[in-house]
Amino acid sequence: MPEEIGMFPHHTDVLGYLHSYAERFGLTPHIRLNTGVEKAEKRGDLWWILCENGDEYTSSNLVIATGPQQKQNRELESTVLKGFTGKVYHAGEIKEVTEEHKDKRLLVVGGGETGSDICMEFHKISRFIYWSIPRGQHFFRKVGRVVPWGRPQAIDKASSRMMKTIAPYTRSKPGLSWICKWTTSGSLLAYQGHGIPEWRNNAAFFHFFVNKNGRVLELVDYKHLVPKAGISHCEGREVHFTDGTKQEFDIVIMSTGYKKFFPFVSDTYTNMSIAEHYKFVFNVEDPSLAFVGFVRPVVGSVVGVSELQARWVARVYSKRVSLKPLAERQAELAKDQAHWREYFKHSSCRLEGLVEGFTYIDDIARLAGIYPNYWELFKRNPYHWYIAHFAPYNAATFRLNEPKHEAQAIATMESHRKTTLNPVHLLLIVFLRLVWFDWFLDQLCKVKYSIQVSRWWPTVRQWRLTRAANWVWTLPKRALFDTSFSDAI
């Protein structure tokens, strides 16, 4: 993307980029916009597609890339919210804050980024907001200032190949997880990025979906938002929570995500979980059918994962690489399912395609034949090897095997590397891992949690001495991270 777009592009920037991309590669004549698909079925060796306008197409292969945000998940309306008589919305229905929402008592249910966005927008006009997250949640901030004299940067820039080796995601980032807590909450004792007892769960770091809009935690700190765990039931406008408390609300907004929705293909495919496909992509029995864009990384970009999936599919269908035989695909599928079930055993089962993104991407890249040959890169240019290992994750990594793209790939990676952790920082992380610094902090976090849920803590918390100590303790957080501090007070 053009450099002036920045780290967090607006949706109009993304649309503009897609138009320029389609024009650059001559794709526009091959795209049919505003054309709904009525039906897609396999007839012999070909897929037959019928469109709503009557157009028909046939193809050797079919890729479904309709995205997971199609059918709203409204299951709570028939379960714990069944008795609620106020207004109930799905987050997908909320496009803007209106007068209808002003001065209302609001309950948000569900712990994803959309829930954060709604709380950030609605707290300005609501009488009060409660946020119910039944299974707990882990939080990051999108940007943070790791040191006082440094400029804010995207937190996920700490994702280099060398960083992955020193502090692997699969082991909860040993030596580095303290930075994630610090940059999210300004506290080394903010377990799971928030330190809020109502939202604590038993999932290890990076073994649970991470909400990347941790700025919303400021609303909890400044008493603009009341955190709650699950809901037990509703009576009229009164919502009863699992902690035994209750509160009346005018509006409930369900930030409960979406369900997969492929109404144009047969039940044979719609009844299958995304996790039942080979690497979440190819139908294991009939790989002429592929699904792209339905994997959800714990942290990282859905778009980044989709790009690697799309490259793999394109290379398979153009016969540049081959899939493994059926028996091997089936065995590998069973192994993958067991692995991710264990990895996310404390996470929500609703997210079918949940993965540790960087591990999954490397797996796909190897199968697609585009995983970097680092030894050959080192022999060609040791400095390029250095950049490739110390730059943050970028899709340019998977162009390093292509001589005509190597220079541009290295230039892209170098532009991101300059403002991130350098080798000295990495040595510090190695040291902190060796001395078990994160383990020590985790033990203190357990002590903190036990104090927070004790019977006597609510009283002690109100003592003047306790409030003064808390003000001093949270001063670095307010100074370095609370971007809305002036608004909050």
324-336 mean pLDDT:
96
3-state SS assignment for residue 80 = coil
Is 354 within 8 Å of 347 (Cβ atoms)?
Answer: yes
Tokens for 92? 């997908």
Mean pLDDT, the chain, integer? 90
Band (489; pLDDT cuts 50, 70, 90): very low
Is 193 within 8 Å of 181 (Cβ atoms)?
Answer: yes
120-141 mean pLDDT:
92
- Distance CA(7)–CA(350), nearest Å, equals 30
H/E stretch holding 210 reads strand 210-211
What local confidence, expressed as pLDDT, does residue 487 receive? 41
What local confidence, expressed as pLDDT, does residue 237 receive? 95
Band (149; pLDDT cuts 50, 70, 90): low
Band (485; pLDDT cuts 50, 70, 90): very low
pLDDT 10s digits, 54-110: 999 999 999 999 988 888 999 999 999 999 999 999 999 998 888 888 999 999 999
Compute φ and ψ for 414, nearest 5 degrees: -65, -35
Instruction: List 108's β-bridge partners, or say none.
Output: 131, 253
- Distance CA(41)–CA(55), nearest Å, equals 15
Is 257 within 8 Å of 73 (Cβ atoms)?
Answer: yes
pTM for the model stands at 0.90
Band (479; pLDDT cuts 50, 70, 90): confident
- Distance CA(93)–CA(353), nearest Å, equals 24
Answer yes or no: is pLDDT of 486 > 70.
Answer: no
CB burial of residue 178 (10 Å; 0-12, 13-18, 19+): buried
pLDDT 10s digits, 16-70: 999 999 999 999 999 999 999 999 999 999 999 999 999 999 999 999 999 888 8
Q: What proportion of the chain, given as a percentage, has pLDDT over 90?
A: 67
pLDDT 10s digits, 406-463: 999 999 999 888 877 778 888 999 999 999 999 999 999 999 999 999 999 989 988 9
Domains of the chain: 1-31 (no CATH), 75-157+172-258+437-455 (3.50.50.60)
158-163 mean pLDDT:
88
Answer yes or no: is pLDDT of 139 > 70.
Answer: yes
- Distance CA(392)–CA(153), nearest Å, equals 12
Buried b (16+ CB within 10 A) or exposed e, 372-391: beeeebeeeeeebbbbbbbb
pLDDT 10s digits, 198-239: 999 999 988 999 998 888 998 998 889 999 999 999 999 999
Answer yes or no: is pLDDT of 147 > 60.
Answer: no
* CB-CB neighbours of 229 under 10 Å: 18
* Residue 59: HSE in the Cβ half-sphere, 13 Å Cα cutoff: 14
* CB-CB neighbours of 279 under 10 Å: 20
What local confidence, expressed as pLDDT, does residue 181 receive? 85
Contacting residues for 212 by C-beta, under 8 A, at least 6 apart: 113, 139, 140, 141, 142, 155, 156, 299
- Distance CA(90)–CA(29), nearest Å, equals 37
Q: Which residue has the tokens 């599919």?
A: 313
What's CA 105's distance to the chain center, in Å? 29
User: What separation in angstroms does the CA of 291 have from each of 43, 187, 260, 277, 359?
Assistant: 19, 41, 11, 8, 19
